[in-house]
Homo-oligomer: A and B are copies of this chain.
Amino acid sequence: MIFSSKLIEDAVKEFSRLPGIGKKTALRMVLQLLRMDGNEVDEFTGAVSRMRHGVKFCRECHNVSDSEVCGICVNPGRNRSQVCVVETIRDVIAIESTQQYSGLYHVLGGILSPLDGIGPEQLNIHTLHGRVKNNDVTELIMALSPTIEGDTTVYYIARQLNDLPVTITTIARGIAFGGELEYADEMTLARSIAKRQPIENYVTMK
């Protein structure tokens, strides 16, 4: 692409660094910003800048937060005996958006993947033992990817905590709502038959 403005070219280059954004999409965004009011663009850049420089990571659960401890961890209405272990911040947002979970979280920041050089030291695993012990957590819900790495992480964490009286559960796997049986992979279908539920459990979410 040949631009007649270095300013446009620079902005396009910056947008192209974002995930899934090619040069054409970047250009479309830049031209949209160019059409917007100067004030609106200042709000855009301001929000991005404040986000990057202002966001903290909760010292309890490692979730993103605007303060030292996040809104979920300080909320007295949350069930403190339940902790849901997730890979990323995005998982917290997904689960919170269901409005069906009232416990706390623990964000690992990834899953164990020796081939990618990700061991326990690269993740927020070492703080988990103390957290479970000191806060009398009774249930740890593992909400990790249903992959070999995810399962490995579940087993690793379970072993680390086997001296504590905590129940470790994993979220249910099965056919998604609206999913069609014939398109489900064999593993999911096999597991969903093995872990079949009585009808009364099927309709409640907890």
Contact = CB atoms under 8 A, between A and B. Distances in A.
Interface of A: 1-8, 10-11, 13-14, 17-21, 25, 27-34, 36, 38, 40-55, 63-66, 70-72, 88-90, 92-93, 96-97, 99
A5 B45 contact: no
A41 B29 CA distance: 17
B44 A14 contact: yes
Which 10 A/B pairs are nearest by Cβ-Cβ distance?
A11-B51, A45-B45, A41-B52, A2-B96, A14-B47, A10-B47, A7-B51, A14-B44, A5-B64, A11-B47
Given A51-B30, A90-B31, A63 B4 contact: yes
A112 to B, nearest CB: 19
Contacts of A90: 27-28, 31
A95 to B, nearest CB: 9
B34 A52 contact: yes
Contacts of A48: 11, 14, 30, 33, 41, 44-45
Contacts of A55: 5, 7-8, 34
A127 B171 CA distance: 66
A165 to B, nearest CB: 29
B64 A99 contact: no
A77 B148 CA distance: 62
Contacts of A36: 17, 52
B8 A64 contact: yes
A81 to B, nearest CB: 20
A73 to B, nearest CB: 9
A19 B29 contact: yes
